[in-house]
Amino acid sequence: MNQQSIQQDVAIKVRDLSHWYSVGKKKDNQKVEALKNVSFEVKFGEVFGILGPNGGGKTTLFKILSTLLHANSTSQAHAEIDGKSITSQAAAVREALGVVFQSPSLDGKLTAKENLLHNGHLYGLSGPDLDTRVDALLKRFQLIDRQNDLVEQFSGGMKRKIEVAKSILHEPRVLILDEPTTGLDPASRRDLWLTIHELVQKNSMTVALTTHLMEEAEKCDRLAILSKGELVGIGTPSELKGLIGGDVISVVPEDQQHKNSAQELAENIRSNFNGWDDGGEPKIVDGIVRCEHKNGAEMVAKISGAYSTQIKSITVGQPTLEDVFVHLTGDKFSNNHSE
């Protein structure tokens, strides 16, 4: 495959992207890095997830890709959507891009249909072409019977449907969504995910989304994991979980209130047993001793037998994406709050 063909397969391309915020007064302000040399590519037809805890840099990345925020990276940094630079060709990027923000962008005093028509006008659409597109989307999202109702009367799930419909009205090639299921009940979440996969399969659309929910990340074709502004892992959910070569063991100390109890237990397990996976030696995560071993059940029996009086509980299981985050960062997912 030649270089041109490879480029045509890439929907989103990010190279060495960084961004920082200034904190404090001008004379002694400090730079807080929100993104640190982030690089990745998204192929056309993918559902690509950007997974990370709140404050990990996801929303900053989303704003930059959607041209809402100009990255203050070095001159080597570069980002493209559908082959167009997000800096020098921002207007063309916005035409190729559909965006669903985490915060609602609908006008509650307009009807569902009026919201769609208004958005179409912003993209220069009008007349029969716009009417046809709006009617098709109302039918597709099962909103045709409520098209003349004010949006402020709708449930969160219905509002989210209109947000997505609005974002694809101009038929973009790439759709990006920031925490798309925030505030939705489980049924509405399922409906939205069915819609996302339908857009990819029937419309050949590329979808990139940010999320802090593990169950959503599992539904993506590939994932980029962000921690404190750094991309620490990328791959399919299966590939990422494969980074952990064995089972994950979690040991809750009997005296969990005292940090020394967990430290002593971790050191004893580490020194008295071997065979730990690379990077999976016993370590303390949120007061719990966590380790990885290819023979998890056997190791649980050994640890339980040797330290029964020091252990409140012990569990073993197959790796999850949250385990992958801990493996890559040494930090519990929910405790990672840097922006």
CATH number of the domain that 273 lies in?
3.30.70
3-state secondary structure 10-47: EEEEEEEEEEEEEECCHHHCEEEEEEEEEEEEEECCCE
Residue 26: inside a domain? yes
d(CA 91, CA 97): 10
Report CA-CA distances (Å) from 137 to 84, 101, 158, 161. Answer: 27, 19, 13, 10
Total residues belonging to the chain: 339
Report CA-CA distances (Å) from 130 to 116, 145, 202. Answer: 9, 19, 20
Residue 326: inside a domain? no
d(CA 162, CA 236): 30
Examine the fold and report which residue of 174, 208, 240 is the final residue of a domain before the chain moves on. Answer: 240
Examine the fold and report which residue of 240, 265, 296 is the final residue of a domain before the chain moves on. Answer: 240
Enumerate residue ranges in the chain where pLDDT < 50: 1-6, 336-339
Residue 332: inside a domain? no
pLDDT at 286: 87
Residue 30: inside a domain? yes
Domain coverage including residue 186? 3-240
Q: How many CA atoms lie within 13 A of 171 on its CB side?
A: 11
Does residue 89 share a domain with residue 150?
yes
pLDDT at 2: 46
The contacts of residue 214 (CB under 8 Å, 6+ apart) are 51, 320, 321, 322
Does residue 166 share a domain with residue 182?
yes
pLDDT at 8: 66
What the block records as the tokens of 21 is 């915020």
Does residue 39 share a domain with residue 9?
yes
Does residue 152 share a domain with residue 193?
yes
d(CA 65, CA 14): 9
How many structural domains comprise the chain?
A: 2
The contacts of residue 272 (CB under 8 Å, 6+ apart) are 306
Does residue 199 share a domain with residue 164?
yes
Residue 80: inside a domain? yes
CATH number of the domain that 201 lies in?
3.40.50.300
Does residue 208 share a domain with residue 269?
no
Place of tokens 């920082």: 20
Q: What is the pLDDT of residues 274-324, one digit of tens each?
A: 888 777 899 999 889 999 999 999 999 999 999 999 999 999 999 999 999
Does residue 232 share a domain with residue 270?
no
Residue 333: inside a domain? no
Does residue 184 share a domain with residue 151?
yes
Does residue 267 share a domain with residue 225?
no
DSSP assignment of 142-203 = T-GGGTTSBGGGS-HHHHHHHHHHHHTTT--SEEEEESTTTT--HHHHHHHHHHHHHHHHHH
pLDDT at 1: 43
Does residue 274 share a domain with residue 174?
no
Strand partners, 208: 48, 176
pLDDT at 236: 98
Three-state SS at 225: strand
d(CA 209, CA 178): 6
Q: What is the pLDDT of residues 247-266, one digit of tens each?
A: 999 999 987 666 678 999 99
Does residue 183 share a domain with residue 48?
yes
Residue type, 318: Q
The contacts of residue 38 (CB under 8 Å, 6+ apart) are 14, 16, 17, 18, 57, 61, 226, 229, 230, 231
pLDDT at 104: 82
Residue 119: inside a domain? yes
Residue 338: inside a domain? no
Examine the fold and report which residue of 240, 255, 279 is the final residue of a domain before the chain moves on. Answer: 240
Does residue 150 share a domain with residue 19?
yes
Which residue in 117, 100, 111, 66 sits closest to 184, CA to CA?
100
